Chains A and B, each alone.
Chain A
C-alpha cells in the first residue's frame, strides 16, 4: 500500500508529552494492562468519546518503566489540563489503590529527561 505523504510541521498537530508516576499503596501492585485499561476507561467516562478524540491521547508503552512506575502520555497541547484532571480521578487500578503524580510536561520526549 502506498504511504501517505507526511504533513509539513506547520500543519501537524502540536503535541505534549507528559511524564507521570504511579504511586501504589504499600504491598499492592498492578500490571501495565491494568494501567492502560484504567486510564482509557476513566477518560472515556469523564470526557466522553468525543472529548477523548479531541485530546489525541496516547499512552506510550515503550516508555513505561515497571521499576520506577514512570510512564509517558502523548496528547494535544490544548488538552493537557483535561488529561491531568482525568488522571486525578483514577484511584484504583484493578483492586489496587494508587495515586498519580505528574512529573513533567514537555513538547519532546527528550525534554522529559526520563533517564
Chain B
C-alpha cells in the first residue's frame, strides 16, 4: 500500500443511496472519503440527516454500500457481512438497550464480547477465571457492579448498561471503536460520566475511535480531530492545534456557512 502503515481506516468514495429508484430515494453518503491513523480519536458533528450515523453503519456493515470501498487495517471489508466485521470493531449505540443482551447476566454479556469474532465452540460460555477478570474490570468502573456479575443486564440503568457496553466494545483491543451518540439518551450527569469513561478507555488502550455527538462542546473537548458533515459529505476537517483552539462559535459559523449557505441561496432564488 502506498499509505502509511499506521492507517486503520480508509473510506474511498463511499456512497449510500437508500430506496434507490423510488420516490423516497435519498443519498445519505455522497462519495465520502476519509482516512484514519492509529490512535486517532475523531469526533463527528453535523445536523440531522448529515450522514454521521450512516457513516458508522457503513463501516460496521449494517447494509452494503451503493459504491466505494471500505478498508480496515489493510483488509477490504466492503462486501463483508456485519458479523464478520465485528472482529475489527467495538460499537456503542445511542440506545443503551441496543448494546447488551437484557436477558443475559453481566458476566455473560462481557464473555460474549471477549469472544467477539471467534468461532463459537461447545466449551463454557463463561469460565470462573474470566469471572474474576470481569470482577476486576467492573471494580475499576466504580459503579458497584463488581458484586452483581450474575445480575441480568435488563435490570440495570441506562448509564450502567452503556458503561458495560463500553467495556465490551473495548475488549480485545478492537482496531476501531465506533461511538454513535452513545451519551445522547442519558441524563447530563450520567452522560458526562460515560463520556469520561470513554475517554479513559480510549486513552489507556490507545484505541482508534470515532465518536458521533450532537454536543459541539464535547466534540471540541475530546479527541485529536474533528469532522463536520453535511449532506453525506465531510465539509470540515480539523486536527491538532487548530482543533484545540476551536470555539463553539467557530463551529456554529462553519455550520451556518455550509448549511445556511444553501438556505441563503434558496432565499435569493425565491425572493
Note whether A and B form a binding pair.
Answer: no
Instruction: Identify the B interface with A (CB < 8 A).
Output: none
